[in-house]
Structure formats: structure tokens, C-alpha cells
């Protein structure tokens, strides 16, 4: 009589499988709650304790870790192994059905303590899966309830061949690999390790969606994420068109930018470059200010809002074509308006995720890793280095411009102003190989709005030409990192123009 060991946390489909196995003449062994469920369903099942002669220990922490069970699973299909089992009175096990405690789901609970999280780390189940998967030439292992029907059908027909058992073993090893990777990531975070340079970097990602194509139609594309995480950690609520590879890159850039701000804020991104950033007392006002920053570039871009999108915000868009909107939530009225007026506009709700500790980027032959830039470190000390200090209003605008500048591609220049309703960019120059060219582009975008604006630079000015170009256009206050060998010339240029100049001592390159 063939024997099956069943030990599962996810019990969906289990009773049907167990009934089918019983009908085929299989003997069932089960642990803890699994045995109780099968017994309640009227099935004849032996408990693990009845087979091993040992009770569960430590409130269920030790159930299946026993040589009788593991010997029955690990015995190979050869006479000497079966003879050794017989000498110990052990009957072989031919099928292991097992899935694990929901560790990845548990750690998403708010305020979960370390002690509570540790109780969700499965030990016995992992051992069962690995033992059965190691011995797949004789033992079948099933870790996914979605496989129950096809495995049972194969057993019924006698067609559970070596190739099928091998595929099931591969799936079991992938299951334990991903499980251990999740525990590893969590414990690094629990230890409050900002970034640990380890000898090995393990990624455990699942396919979320196959994309229409990559950056261009002749390239294939796909989106992968940790288990249970949707598109950019969110959910697609509307839009008749699938999110594209480029949409996702732009939305990621926009969301990274908008989450730097505490006030209601809006960020518009086109081809990875912000073209409008604004903060105000209300999100719809912030969006209007962001759109006014560069309305031409905003066409066909994506928008990120750090507040719930309501009908007023949708009305602010007017007839502007946009590819996608990301926000923490959307009112029912806003979703209705977007659905009726903008059928192809993708609507992405961004759900809360634990703050990322590191970010990864692929390069030829490998991956780069770094801690996430969350803005100035706590010990950053800004210094006014010009003769004239910024006014209170200029200083507030400089703080906004400095934060906005962090999301612009280097060389990054942002011109911004204090508005009656808040703060907004009026000209952005980024992604250029010359800093003075970035200044000139930002001035060109701003036009007359450059007069009286403030300017932020993500790094130091290597020459005074950037300062000269800005002050000649009417910029009255500037913030940059400082640290150039020509800082004295840069400061002198600001002083000659009567502009205020602040050095932060912190750089925010974004390549």
C-alpha cells in the first residue's frame, strides 16, 4: 500500500486530494491541524505521533522532525535501503504534500514583533520538502495546491513519471529558496542593518506580468516582484491599456520624487525626467502648479500624487493627454470621471510598502547595489557662503528646490518659486553632460519666471559660468553642494550679482 505524508498550512483542496488518494488505496499520514481536518472530514488518517511514537513538542514546534519519517522519505529505490528500513520497522513514504507557514504574509502585518515573526519560520516543513525533493526519483513532492489535480490524475493513470517528479522537485526547491530569501531579507531589516555588503546577493522574485514589449517593440519585457507585491507595489484600478515597460520606469521615477514631500504634492515625469514638481495646501492646486511648470513637456507624461485623487484633481487635468496616474488612493467619483473621460489612462493605486533599504541596477555582467537616497543625512549642515543671506521666503523656496532637484537626472538644475498657493518648479534642466547647459535649459524653460526665482544644483558648480547665467536671468538665491576647487570664484560670482548662495555639503547625483 503506497503511503502519503500530508502536512500543510494552506489546506485548500486538501480534502479532495486526500479522498482521491484513499479511493486509490493510499495510506494517509498527517500532522497536527492537517490530521484534524482530514479526520473531521471522515477520512482514515494516522497522525505523525502514531507513526513515530513521539508526541509533538514545544507547542508544535517539533512535529515531523523524526528519523522514522525522514528515513521513510529518503530511502532510495534499492534493496539495501529498503532492508535497512525494514530492520527498524519503517515503511517507505511515496508522496509528500507540504506547504509552509505564511512567513511572507505575516511580516506584512503592521507592528509585528520579531518574536512573533520568528514563530512563522517553518522548520519541519522545509525539511520535509527538501528530503522529498532530494529523493524525487522515488518520492513525489507537492508544495502547491494548484498541482493537486494533475498529480492525482497522473497517480490514477500510473503516469507520474520521472520527468513529472523532477518538475515537482524543482518547484519545491524554488519554494524553499524563496522562503529562506524572505527570512534573510526580513532579519537584515529587523537588525536595522541599512546595507550589509554580503558575499552573496539573493533575489527572490516572481513574474507579475509579461509586458507588451520592452523599451521598443522589438524587445521583450516583463515585470518581476517579491511574492504578493503588485505593479510598483500597487494595483491597477483602471485604463484599457496595459502598463508598458516605459510607463513603469516613468511611474517609478515620479513616485520616488513625490514621496520625498510631506505636503500635498504632484510630480509629472516624461522619459524619466521630471518636468513639473509642486507642493501646495491641496493636491489639485499642486497639480495645477506642476502642470504650469512645463505644459508642453507634460503632454504624454505620467503623474504621481501623494494624496487621494478626487474629482477636483481630475478636472485640473483639463484635456491634457497623460499616460498614467499614480496615487495612494482614488475617490469613487474620480475613478468614474477617469473611466468615462480617459479610458486609456492607466490608474495605479500605490499601496504602502516597507521603505526600501537598497536599490539595484543591472550593468553588463552584474548588478550594482546601493542604499536608497532619502535626502540629506541628519548631520547635514547648510552654510550661507555669500555676503547676502537668503530672505525667509527665498530660504523656503530653496528648501523646496533642493528636494525637487534630488529626483532630476544629473547634471540637475531646478528653478523654483514661492507661489501664493505653495511652491513649484518653473524650469528644469537635467540629464546633460554640462552643468552650465543644464542651467541654460532650465532658464529657457522658465522664461520670464526665472526673474526672482531660486536655483538648486544637485552637485557643485565647477565654474562660475552657471552662476553668471542664472543671475543674469534674474535668479536671486542659489543652493548647491559646494566642494569645487573653484568655490571661491563661484561665491564671488554670487556676491557680484547680489545673490544669496547656500552650500549644503551634500551631493544628490542621480545617474
Give the contacts of 229 (CB within 8 A, at least 6 positions apart). 208, 353
Partners of 230 in the β-ladder: none
- Do residues 160 and 169 make contact, with C-beta atoms less than 8 angstroms apart? no
> Residue 346: enclosing H or E segment and its boundaries?
strand 346-350
Note if the bond before 411 is cis, omega within 30 degrees. Answer: yes
Q: Are 49 and 69 in contact, with CB atoms under 8 Å apart?
A: no
284: nearest Cα among 269, 298, 303, 259: 303
- Give whole-number Cα distances, 474 to 443, 487, 502, in Å: 9, 21, 17
Read off the C-alpha cell for 248: 513603469
The three cell numbers of residue 324 are 498614467
Q: What is the rounded CA–CA span in Å between residue 26 and residue 152?
A: 12
What whole-number distance in Å separates Cα of residue 440 and Cα of residue 430? 11
Q: Where are the beta strands (DSSP E) in 49-117?
A: 95-98
Q: CA 9, CA 477: separation in Å to the nearest integer?
A: 62
467-488 b/e (C-beta count within 10 Å ≥ 16 → b): bbbbbebbbbbbbbbbebeebe
321 in Cβ contact with 341 (< 8 Å): no
397 phi/psi in degrees, rounded to 5: -65, -35
- Which DSSP letter does residue 458 get? S
Quote the CA–CA distance of 165 and 146 in Å, as a whole number.
15
Residues that are catalytic? 134, 271
Our CA angle for 323, 357, 251, nearest 5°, is 5
Assign 215 to helix, strand or coil: coil
Grid cell locating 339: 473611466
Distance of alpha carbon 465 from alpha carbon 483, whole angstroms: 16
Beta strands 302-305 and 234-238, pairing class? unpaired
Alpha carbon separation from 344 to 300, 322, 324, 340 (Å, rounded):
12, 9, 9, 10
Amino acid at each position: 500500500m503506497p503511503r502519503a505524508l500530508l502536512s500543510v498550512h494552506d489546506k485548500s483542496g486538501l480534502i479532495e486530494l486526500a479522498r482521491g488518494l484513499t479511493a486509490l488505496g493510499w495510506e494517509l499520514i498527517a500532522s497536527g491541524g492537517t490530521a484534524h481536518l482530514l479526520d473531521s472530514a471522515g477520512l482514515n488518517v494516522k497522525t505523525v505521533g502514531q507513526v513515530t511514537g513521539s508526541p509533538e513538542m514545544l507547542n508544535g514546534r517539533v512535529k515531523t522532525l523524526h528519523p522514522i519519517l525522514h528515513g521513510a522519505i529518503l530511502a532510495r529505490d534499492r534493496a539495501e535501503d529498503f532492508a535497512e528500513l525494514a530492520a527498524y520497522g519503517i515503511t517507505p513514504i511515496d508522496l509528500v504534500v507540504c506547504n509552509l507557514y505564511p512567513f511572507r504574509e505575516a511580516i506584512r502585518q503592521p507592528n509585528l514583533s520579531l518574536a512573533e515573526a520568528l514563530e512563522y519560520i517553518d522548520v519541519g516543513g522545509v525539511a520535509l520538502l527538501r528530503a522529498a525533493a532530494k529523493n524525487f526519483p522515488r518520492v513525489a513532492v507537492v508544495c502547491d495546491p494548484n498541482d493537486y489535480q494533475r498529480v492525482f490524475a497522473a497517480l490514477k493513470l500510473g503516469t507520474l513519471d520521472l520527468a513529472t517528479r523532477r518538475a515537482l522537485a524543482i518547484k519545491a526547491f524554488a519554494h524553499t529558496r524563496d522562503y529562506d530569501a524572505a527570512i534573510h531579507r526580513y532579519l537584515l531589516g529587523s537588525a536595522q542593518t541599512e546595507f550589509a555588503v554580503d558575499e552573496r546577493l539573493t533575489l527572490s522574485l516572481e513574474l507579475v506580468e509579461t509586458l507588451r514589449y520592452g523599451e521598443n517593440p522589438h524587445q521583450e519585457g516583463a515585470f518581476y516582484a517579491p511574492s504578493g507585491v503588485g505593479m510598483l507595489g500597487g494595483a491597477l484600478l483602471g485604463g484599457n491599456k496595459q502598463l508598458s515597460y516605459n510607463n513603469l520606469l516613468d511611474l517609478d521615477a515620479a513616485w520616488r520624487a513625490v514621496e520625498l514631500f510631506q505636503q500635498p504634492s504632484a510630480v509629472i515625469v516624461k522619459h524619466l525626467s521630471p518636468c513639473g514638481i509642486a507642493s501646495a495646501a491641496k493636491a489639485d492646486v499642486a497639480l495645477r502648479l506642476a502642470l504650469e511648470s512645463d505644459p508642453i513637456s507634460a503632454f504624454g507624461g505620467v503623474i504621481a500624487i501623494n494624496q487621494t485623487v478626487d474629482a477636483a484633481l481630475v478636472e485640473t487635468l483639463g484635456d491634457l493627454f497623460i499616460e498614467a496616474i499614480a496615487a495612494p488612493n482614488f475617490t469613487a467619483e474620480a475613478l468614474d470621471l477617469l473611466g468615462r473621460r480617459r479610458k486609456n489612462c492607466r490608474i495605479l493605486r500605490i499601496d504602502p510598502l516597507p521603505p526600501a533599504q537598497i536599490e539595484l541596477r543591472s550593468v553588463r555582467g552584474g548588478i550594482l547595489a546601493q542604499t536608497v537616497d532619502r535626502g540629506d543625512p541628519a548631520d547635514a549642515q547648510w552654510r550661507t557662503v555669500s555676503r547676502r543671506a537668503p530672505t525667509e521666503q527665498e530660504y523656503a523656496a530653496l528648501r523646496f528646490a533642493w528636494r525637487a532637484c534630488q529626483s532630476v537626472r544629473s547634471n540637475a538644475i531646478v528653478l523654483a518659486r514661492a507661489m501664493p498657493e505653495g511652491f513649484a518648479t518653473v524650469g528644469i534642466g537635467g540629464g546633460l553632460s554640462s552643468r552650465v547647459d543644464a542651467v541654460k535649459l532650465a532658464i529657457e524653460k522658465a522664461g520670464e519666471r526665472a526673474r526672482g526665482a531660486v536655483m538648486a544644483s544637485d552637485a557643485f558648480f565647477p565654474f562660475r559660468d552657471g552662476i553668471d547665467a542664472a543671475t543674469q536671468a534674474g535668479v536671486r538665491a542659489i543652493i548647491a553642494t559646494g566642494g569645487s576647487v573653484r568655490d571661491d570664484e563661484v561665491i564671488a560670482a554670487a556676491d557680484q550679482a547680489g545673490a544669496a548662495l547656500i552650500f549644503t555639503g551634500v551631493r544628490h547625483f542621480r545617474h
